[in-house]
A and B are shown apart, each in its own frame.
Chain A
Amino acid sequence: MANVPDNLKYSKTHEWVSIEGEIATIGITDHAQEEMGDIVYLSLPDIGRTLAFDEQFGEVESVKAVSELFSPLTGEVIETNTAIGNTTEIVNEDPYGNGWLMKIKLSNPSEMTDLLDAASYTQFAEEGGH
């Protein structure tokens, strides 16, 4: 079974969120990268763009298919992980660490309560949520 760290929050669209103050770091889950297979291309949003909850913020292309990325929270993009560049395998190898995707400045922290905790996400993923 995929790795689901206890200290993170999760969306039903398979993004993870880590909160520090009003800054949220966002990436895709181990389960998501496993489902997709080797990632070969990634598009991330421009800095300064305001994302609504559940708004598409990018695309990830694997050898199997192209999947859309959805913002689990509302906020402004303040940083994206430019270190990934062409080495997209980082997202497969270390989705919760060096494979993070973007940081946003939250404008509606109360949305956090709608996210899943590790146990609920594990159950959601195991039931074949996709």
Chain B
Amino acid sequence: MKNSEFPLIFEKSRRGRKAANLPECDVPYTSPEELIGAEHLRSRLPLPEVSELDVVRHFTHLSQRNYAIDLGLYPLGSCTMKYNPKVNEKAASIPGFASLHPLQPEETAQGALALMYDLQKMLAEISGFDATTLQPSAGAHGELCAMMMVKAYHASRGEAHRNVVVIPDAAHGTNPASAARCGFKVKGVISNSKGCTDLDSLQKALAGGNIAAFMLTNPNTVGLFESEIEKICEMVHEAGGLVYCDGANMNAMLGLTRPGDMGFDVMHFNLHKTFSTPHGGGGPGCGAVSVKACLEPFLPVPTIEKVTAKIGEEESEATYRFIQNRPQSIGRIHSFYGAFLIAVRAYTYIRSLGAKGIRGVGENAVLNANYVRARLADHYEVAYGNRTCMHEVVLSAAKLKQLHGVRALDISKRLMDYGYHPPTNYFPLIVPEALMIEPTETESKQTLDEFIEVMIKISQEAVETPDLLTTAPHVTLVSRLDETAAVKNLDLRYEPLFENNNPI
């Protein structure tokens, strides 16, 4: 169906059409005017009047226009679009979890508290830290939470003057935003010719003094491991700062190495990336934050405590309780206890894999990315040289653009014709015409081979028939959208037509 033939649900509306017939009211009737007050009632409320079948067809059609990991490979770099096992959903729908009310007494929700407590322990164990909070809603919220703790930490030591946060030029844009939101001044550090943090540049930034923290993604956004990480942490600590790990790329390290052991003081996780909870869609998320002991007093409230008592020689069954009274805490950052059912999914994922399985995730994520890199290296330029990468590989279309006028964007659009979601484009900013591919560990060699063959074919098309790329996609419902108009003249609201106060 062409876009123009796809009406809004408002346009399907017919006056008086209903999805359900209610039985006659069997309690005394009270008018809405009396109950709510006429001044609060709208006479014109043009909600769509449609049948149940209209609704079902409308949203089923919309869902068919979506692309999802359940349909095919989704190599969107930095986003870790791995498959989310259905057992996660099964666990999250167990009535004992799904029907909990956040205000019910904690002694009636001991299983839920135990799950959160154990997940915090598991995340701390996996990353090499001492304590964890599950409160933040997402990665950037985790960053903000961490920066608030960094600020409180320095203030508690009488060093509130530390107001500089140092960030590499390859960082996710949320890093400087989170630091600035906490009132820190942001200082940049450049990357060296190997695509890693330039130590001279870092030294220079640190020498400026008042260092509160250094925020680093490891493996970094070029998909490379910061091999000087121990030295970097040492330099920042010497300057009196804390080192923050943006855990967006934790997938590459699972079971293989731990940020806490490298010298990081605090990190956030994106449970939707590394621990297979649903991505985005405006739904709930969790950007858990783990800290070293020095930051533990500042964790947001409530925290969870496990209490056991000795009864003679026996240890009693553990009970769990929320702790609200923590004088040094940065306070609440989320209503109630974070996105609990997301925690259930991540817990299920970790428990169903086990320690060995978790390590396999890290190994296969790295192996898959390197397989793609090795097979595409003859056809595309690999950013910062064709070296072993971590969980993702960054290609550059700079040469294709120069020689054939084909940009990263055009390659991505052409991939859609072959049924793939495009990789991340134009990020990191330090790589011109960047194409960032992250296959994740959940894809088979056969799937990767099919994708690689398509990428090779597109590289040939770029030379032989570049127009095919610059006008792609050709088979999708809509082709190139006018992104500029979408930004400048954003129009999201349907304005119904009225006649005599009645919708037409």
Any A CB within 8 A of the CB of B426: yes
Of B398, B430, B487, which is within 8 A of A63 by CB?
A: B487
B488 near A86 with CB under 8 A, answer yes
Any B CB within 8 A of the CB of A40: yes
A63 near B429 with CB under 8 A, answer no
A63 near B432 with CB under 8 A, answer no
Any A CB within 8 A of the CB of B499: no
Instruction: Tell me, rounded to whole Å, the shortest Cβ–Cβ distance linking B304 to chain A.
Output: 40
Contact pattern, A 38-54, Cβ under 8 Å of B = 1, otherwise 0: 10110000000000000
State the 3 A-B residue pairs at the shortest beta-carbon distance, nearest first.
A38-B484, A63-B483, A40-B487
B398 near A40 with CB under 8 A, answer no
Q: Chain B contacts of A126 at CB under 8 A?
A: 402
Chain B contact patch, size range: 10 to 19
Closest residue of A by beta carbon distance from B407: A37
| Chain B residues in the interface with A (C-beta under 8 A) | 398, 402, 425-426, 429-430, 432, 483-484, 487-488
Contact pattern, A 18-39, Cβ under 8 Å of B = 1, otherwise 0: 0000000000000000010010
A128 near B483 with CB under 8 A, answer no
Known: A86-B488, A128-B398. A38 touches B483 (CB 8 A): yes
Q: Chain A contacts of B487 at CB under 8 A?
A: 40-41, 63
Contacting B at CB under 8 A, from A71-126, are 86, 88-89, 126
Instruction: Tell me, rounded to whole Å, the shortest Cβ–Cβ distance linking A44 to chain B.
Output: 17
Q: Within the assembled complex, what's the spacing in Å between the Cα atoms of A86 and B487? A: 12
B426 near A65 with CB under 8 A, answer yes
Closest residue of A by beta carbon distance from B483: A63
Q: Within the assembled complex, what's the spacing in Å between the Cα atoms of A35 and B483? A: 16
17 sampled A-B residue pairs with Cβ under 8 A: A35-B432, A38-B483, A40-B484, A40-B487, A40-B488, A41-B487, A63-B483, A63-B487, A64-B425, A64-B426, A86-B488, A88-B488, A89-B484, A128-B398, A128-B432, A130-B430, A130-B432
Closest residue of B by beta carbon distance from A40: B487
Q: Within the assembled complex, what's the spacing in Å between the Cα atoms of A63 and B398? A: 19
Q: Dominant SS at the A interface?
A: loop
Q: Chain A contacts of B488 at CB under 8 A?
A: 40, 86, 88
A65 near B429 with CB under 8 A, answer yes
Q: Within the assembled complex, what's the spacing in Å between the Cα atoms of A105 and B273? A: 51
Q: Chain B contacts of A40 at CB under 8 A?
A: 484, 487-488
Q: Chain A contacts of B426 at CB under 8 A?
A: 64-65
Q: Within the assembled complex, what's the spacing in Å between the Cα atoms of A88 and B426? A: 21
Instruction: Tell me, rounded to whole Å, the shortest Cβ–Cβ distance linking A7 to chain B.
Output: 25
Instruction: Tell me, rounded to whole Å, the shortest Cβ–Cβ distance linking B92 to chain A.
Output: 36
Q: Chain A contacts of B432 at CB under 8 A?
A: 35, 128, 130
Instruction: Tell me, rounded to whole Å, the shortest Cβ–Cβ distance linking B323 to chain A.
Output: 41
Q: Chain B contacts of A35 at CB under 8 A?
A: 432
Instruction: Tell me, rounded to whole Å, the shortest Cβ–Cβ distance linking B204 to chain A.
Output: 15
Q: Within the assembled complex, what's the spacing in Å between the Cα atoms of A41 and B484? A: 10
Instruction: Tell me, rounded to whole Å, the shortest Cβ–Cβ distance linking A92 to chain B.
Output: 9
Instruction: Tell me, rounded to whole Å, the shortest Cβ–Cβ distance linking A130 to chain B.
Output: 6
Instruction: Tell me, rounded to whole Å, the shortest Cβ–Cβ distance linking A85 to chain B.
Output: 11
Please name 6 further chain A to chain B contacts, defined as beta carbons within 8 Å, in addition to the given A64-B425, A65-B426, sorted by A numbering.
A35-B432, A63-B483, A88-B488, A126-B402, A128-B432, A130-B432
Instruction: Tell me, rounded to whole Å, the shortest Cβ–Cβ distance linking B423 to chain A.
Output: 15
Q: Within the assembled complex, what's the spacing in Å between the Cα atoms of A89 and B485? A: 11
Instruction: Tell me, rounded to whole Å, the shortest Cβ–Cβ distance linking A8 to chain B.
Output: 22
Q: Within the assembled complex, what's the spacing in Å between the Cα atoms of A89 and B483? A: 13
Q: Within the assembled complex, what's the spacing in Å between the Cα atoms of A128 and B426? A: 14
Q: Within the assembled complex, what's the spacing in Å between the Cα atoms of A89 and B484? A: 9
Q: Within the assembled complex, what's the spacing in Å between the Cα atoms of A64 and B434? A: 12
Instruction: Tell me, rounded to whole Å, the shortest Cβ–Cβ distance linking B449 to chain A.
Output: 31
Q: Chain B contacts of A88 at CB under 8 A?
A: 488
Q: Chain A contacts of B402 at CB under 8 A?
A: 126
Q: Within the assembled complex, what's the spacing in Å between the Cα atoms of A40 and B426? A: 17
Q: Chain B contacts of A64 at CB under 8 A?
A: 425-426
Closest residue of A by beta carbon distance from B429: A65
Closest residue of A by beta carbon distance from B398: A128
Indicate the member of B425, B429, B487 with the most A CB atoms within 10 Å. B487
Instruction: Tell me, rounded to whole Å, the shortest Cβ–Cβ distance linking B489 to chain A.
Output: 10
Q: Chain B contacts of A86 at CB under 8 A?
A: 488
Q: Within the assembled complex, what's the spacing in Å between the Cα atoms of A86 and B430? A: 29
Q: Within the assembled complex, what's the spacing in Å between the Cα atoms of A112 and B106? A: 71
Q: Chain A contacts of B483 at CB under 8 A?
A: 38, 63
Q: Within the assembled complex, what's the spacing in Å between the Cα atoms of A41 and B490? A: 14
Q: Within the assembled complex, what's the spacing in Å between the Cα atoms of A24 and B429? A: 29
Instruction: Tell me, rounded to whole Å, the shortest Cβ–Cβ distance linking B180 to chain A.
Output: 13
Q: Chain B contacts of A63 at CB under 8 A?
A: 483-484, 487
Q: Within the assembled complex, what's the spacing in Å between the Cα atoms of A122 and B487? A: 31
Instruction: Tell me, rounded to whole Å, the shortest Cβ–Cβ distance linking B198 to chain A.
Output: 16
Instruction: Tell me, rounded to whole Å, the shortest Cβ–Cβ distance linking B315 to chain A.
Output: 57
Q: Chain A contacts of B484 at CB under 8 A?
A: 38, 40, 63, 89
Closest residue of B by beta carbon distance from A63: B483
Q: Within the assembled complex, what's the spacing in Å between the Cα atoms of A30 and B21? A: 64
Q: Within the assembled complex, what's the spacing in Å between the Cα atoms of A41 and B488? A: 8
Q: Within the assembled complex, what's the spacing in Å between the Cα atoms of A130 and B396? A: 14
Q: Chain A contacts of B429 at CB under 8 A?
A: 65
Q: Within the assembled complex, what's the spacing in Å between the Cα atoms of A130 and B429? A: 9
Instruction: Tell me, rounded to whole Å, the shortest Cβ–Cβ distance linking B168 to chain A.
Output: 16
Closest residue of B by beta carbon distance from A41: B487
Q: Chain A contacts of B430 at CB under 8 A?
A: 130
Q: Within the assembled complex, what's the spacing in Å between the Cα atoms of A35 and B484? A: 15
Q: Chain B contacts of A89 at CB under 8 A?
A: 484
Instruction: Tell me, rounded to whole Å, the shortest Cβ–Cβ distance linking B190 to chain A.
Output: 12
Instruction: Tell me, rounded to whole Å, the shortest Cβ–Cβ distance linking B460 to chain A.
Output: 24
Closest residue of B by beta carbon distance from A92: B484
Instruction: Tell me, rounded to whole Å, the shortest Cβ–Cβ distance linking B343 to chain A.
Output: 34
